């Protein structure tokens, strides 16, 4: 009789171990994303918000790049104005050094008014488009907070 109880305990233990492994495996798989029209609307708004945030970061980075170039240009202008006042026009080396600095300043000016301005303007337009799309679809729309959390937990947005 003892062997039956020993076998029963082994079978029972094996069964419990299998159940625990199955429970652990199911706990590790992500739940399916919520379905339905409200979940789809929440998903769209969350994706639009993420897209808007990325456009804002891009716009800020491009604007910061332009600001840096403009700051360098102001510094170059100030330095040239100081040096111009003290420039000995009879010293060929001093005049050549001043002209080289003037060419560097002109290159900064071309950069500050060139392609970077168009890049900033395009980034601003992309950001404004994202804000407008978000506002049209999502502004002042009350969503269920529990469903929003569930959608956020399983959020997958299309590539931009």
**Residue 33 burial class via C-beta count within 10 angstroms: exposed 0-12, middle 13-18, buried 19 and up:** middle
**Other C-beta atoms lying within 10 Å of the C-beta of residue 13:** 10
What's the CATH code, domain 35-153?
1.10.287
pLDDT, position 102: 96
pLDDT, position 140: 87
Instruction: Give domain limits for the chain.
Output: 1-30, 35-153
pLDDT, position 43: 94
Angle of helix 115-138 versus helix 37-86 axis, rounded to 10? 150
pLDDT, position 108: 95
pLDDT, position 30: 61
pTM of this prediction exceeds 0.75: no
pLDDT, position 2: 46
pLDDT, position 7: 53
pLDDT, position 29: 63
Taking the chain (160 residues) in consecutive chunks of 10 residues, what is each chunk's mean pLDDT?
A: 49 50 54 82 94 97 97 96 93 95 96 95 97 93 90 89
Distances from the Cα of 160 to the Cα of 20, 52, 54, 62, angstroms: 42, 11, 10, 19
């Amino acid at each position: 009789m003892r062997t039956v109880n020993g076998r029963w305990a082994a079978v029972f233990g094996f069964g419990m171990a299998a159940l625990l492994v199955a429970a652990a495996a199911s706990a590790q798989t992500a739940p399916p994303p919520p379905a339905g029209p409200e979940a789809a609307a929440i998903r769209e708004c969350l994706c639009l918000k993420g897209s808007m945030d990325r456009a804002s970061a891009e716009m800020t980075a491009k604007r910061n790049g332009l600001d840096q170039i403009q700051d360098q240009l102001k510094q170059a202008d100030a330095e040239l104005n100081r040096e111009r006042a003290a420039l000995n026009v009879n010293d060929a080396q001093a005049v050549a050094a001043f002209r080289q600095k003037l060419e560097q300043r002109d290159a900064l000016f071309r950069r500050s008014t060139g392609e970077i301005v168009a890049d900033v303007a395009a980034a601003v337009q992309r950001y404004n488009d994202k804000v407008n799309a978000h506002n049209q679809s999502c502004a002042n729309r009350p969503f269920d907070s529990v469903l929003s959390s569930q959608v956020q937990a399983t959020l997958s947005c299309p590539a931009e």
